[in-house]
Amino acid sequence: MANEAYELEINWGTVKAKGTVKVTVIADRAHHNLYSGSTHLAEFTCKIETVVKDEGETFILRPQKQSIGKGNLLAAVLLAEAAKVRQEIKVNLREHFPELFGG
């Protein structure tokens, strides 16, 4: 699994997003880094080839690095980012075109 990449895609109703996950192996750990465009959103790390299964841990990187839980939660991060961007667009549209939103 050395230096590979894979795509994540969210297509849930009107929320759509694509992300790229770049995998790097350093020593005995795999690092899966999620990017949306050029923005580095999150990292999932886990031990590789261990006797005891390591479920790993996912970290968001903005505004500061912090753990959001055990396991690979990169798809959840991408979904949350897509929903946040969608909400920001809606808020901006409401601000500039209030008549579209009954205001």
Q: pLDDT tens for residues 13-54?
A: 888 899 999 999 998 899 999 999 999 999 999 998 766 677
Strand runs labelled E in 13-63 = 15-26, 29-36, 39-47, 57-60
Which is higher by pLDDT, 103 or 3? 3
Using 50, 70 and 90 to split pLDDT, how confident is the model at 2?
low
Q: Is the pLDDT of residue 91 over 80?
A: no
Q: Which domain holds residue 61?
A: 4-101
Indicate yes or no: pTM above 0.75.
yes
| Token code pair at residue 50 | 């261990």
The total of structural domains in the chain comes to 1
